Chain A
Amino acid sequence: MNGFGELEPQTPELVRPYVITKGRGLPDEGQLSLITLVTAAADHEQRPTRLSPEEQNLLDLCSAGYLSVAEIAGHTQLPLGVVKILLAALTEGGYLITRAPVQRAPLADRDILEEVLNGLRAKFG
C-alpha cells in the first residue's frame, strides 16, 4: 500500500547533493583536478570514524589502489562537484592521500611528451 504522507526511504538518488556534501563548497581547483590521483591513507582504519555512507563508500573504493578524481566520480556515478567536495573533506581528515598531477613546465613537458610518444608506439606500433 502506498500510504499517503509516508516517508520514502532515502536512496542516494533521492538525496540532494548539498545534503551529501553537508553544505560544503567546492575545494580549491589546484587541490583536486580531474586527474589528481587519490588513495586511502595507510592508517585510515585507525581513525575515528564518523563518516557518512557516501564518504565511507568513497574511502572503500580508494582503499585498493590509486584512482583519478574523474574515475572515482565515474565509478560512483556521483556528480563530479560532489565527489570533489567529499574527497577534499576525507583528505583533510587524513583518510585519503592525493597525488597531484605533475606541475607543468616547458622542460618537463618535453620529457613527458617523449615518454607518451614512446609509450603509444610501443603499445600500438
Chain B
Amino acid sequence: MVSGPSLDEQAYVREGATQTAVKILVVGHFAVGKTTFIGAISEIEPLTTEETMTRAAESVDDLKGVQGKTTTTVAMDFGRLTISDRVVLYLFGTPGQQRFVQMWEDMARGALGALVLVDPERLADSFAVIDLIEQYGLDYAIAVNHFDGAPLRDEMALRDALDLLEDTPVVTCDARDERSSADALITLVRHLQDRAH
C-alpha cells in the first residue's frame, strides 16, 4: 500500500467536474491494445486495480463457475478524461472473461457504451467479448486496431465474421495515437447518440 497522501494536484478530479461521472468501456481480447488506447486518451497515468472474489459473505450461488476457489482476481486498467467543467469521463478496460461476472457487472452498470478493440488477424478471439457486451445490453462500436497502418481489407467480411448489426460502426484506429483513438471514441459517442434518439 502506498503510504500517505503522495498524490499531486493533477491526480484529483478537477473541482466542478465532480458533478457528473460517466464511463465508457474499452474491451477486447488479451493484448489487443486496450491499455495503449486508454493511455493515449487519459489525462492521468492509467491505473490498474483488481476485483477479487474474496468476499466475506459470499453466497454459494455467487461463486458459480469458480468452484473450489475462494480467491480469484482479475486486473482492469482505467484512465480519466475531464470532459468539461461538470463532466468527468472514465475509460475502463478489461479482457472478456466470462467467469468474472462480478467485475463485468460493476463495469457495465451505468456505462454509456463500449468500444470493442479488434485485431483483424484474430477475429475469433473477439467473439467472447462481443457476446458479453451484448449480454449486458451495452451499445458498442468496433475499432479495428491495426498496427501496421494498412487499410482494412474487407469490412464486409469483418462484419460477417463478427455478426454485426448494420448500424454498428466499424472504424480503424491506431491505439498508440491520441487523435486516432479519440476519433474512434467520437464515432462511438455519435452512435450512442443515434441509439438514444
The answer to whether the Cβ of A5 comes within 8 Å of any Cβ in the partner chain is no
**Interface residues in B13-29 (C-beta closer than 8 Å to A):** 13, 15, 18-23
A94 at the interface (CB under 8 A from B): no
Q: Is B55 on the interface with A (CB-CB < 8 A)? A: yes
If A57-B3, A68-B13, A68-B90 touch, does A74 touch B52 (CB 8 Å cutoff)? no
Contact B54 A81 (CB under 8 A): yes
Judged by a CB distance under 8 angstroms, whether A6 is at the interface is no
Contact in complex: B83, A116 (CB < 8 Å):
yes
Q: How far is the CA of A106 from the CA of B176 in the complex (A)?
A: 33
The residues in B between 70 and 106 inclusive whose CB is less than 8 angstroms from any CB of A are 73, 78, 80-81, 83-84, 86-90, 92, 105-106
User: For chain B residues 46-79, which have a beta carbon within 8 Å of chain A?
Assistant: 47-52, 54-57, 73, 78
CB-nearest residue of chain B to A124: B182
Bound-state CA distance A25–B192 (Å) is: 36
Q: Decide: B47 and A121 in contact? CB cutoff 8 A.
A: no
CB atoms of A64 and B5 under 8 A apart: yes
Q: Which residue of A lies closest to B182 (CB)?
A: A124
The reply to whether B182 and A120 contact each other, CB–CB distance below 8 Å, is yes
Interface size on A, residues (CB 8 A): 58
* Cβ-based interface call for A75 (8 A): yes
Choose one: B49, B51, B193; the contact of A113 (CB below 8 Å): B193
Most buried by B among A24, A36, A104: A104
What secondary structure prevails in chain B residues at the interface with A?
mixed
* CA–CA, A76 and B6, complex, Å: 11
Q: Does A41 contact B (CB under 8 A)?
A: no
Chain A residues with CB under 8 A of B81: 119-120, 123
A-B contacts at CB below 8 angstroms, number: 174
Interface status of A89 (Cβ within 8 A of chain B): no
B residues less than 8 Å from A61 (CB atoms): 2, 5, 7
Compute how far the CA of A78 lies from the CA of B3 in the bound complex, rounded to whole angstroms: 12
Interface residue ranges of A102-125 to B (CB < 8 Å): 102, 104, 106, 109-110, 112-121, 123-124
Judging by beta carbons under 8 Å apart, are B52 and A82 in contact?
Answer: yes
Which B residue's beta carbon lies closest to that of A35? B21
When chains A and B are docked, how far (Å) is the Cα of A80 from the Cα of B51? Answer: 5
**Residues of A1-45 whose CB lies within 8 A of B:** 12, 17-18, 21, 23-26, 29, 33-37, 39
Can you name 26 A-B residue pairings with CB atoms under 8 Å? A12-B1, A17-B52, A21-B56, A26-B55, A35-B21, A37-B18, A39-B18, A57-B1, A64-B5, A64-B12, A66-B12, A66-B18, A71-B44, A79-B49, A79-B52, A80-B51, A101-B22, A101-B23, A102-B20, A110-B197, A113-B112, A117-B189, A119-B87, A119-B89, A120-B81, A120-B185
**Contact surface of B with A, Cβ cutoff 8 Å:** 1-5, 7, 9, 11-13, 15, 18-23, 44, 47-52, 54-57, 73, 78, 80-81, 83-84, 86-90, 92, 105-107, 109-110, 112, 178-179, 182-183, 185-186, 189-190, 192-193, 196-197
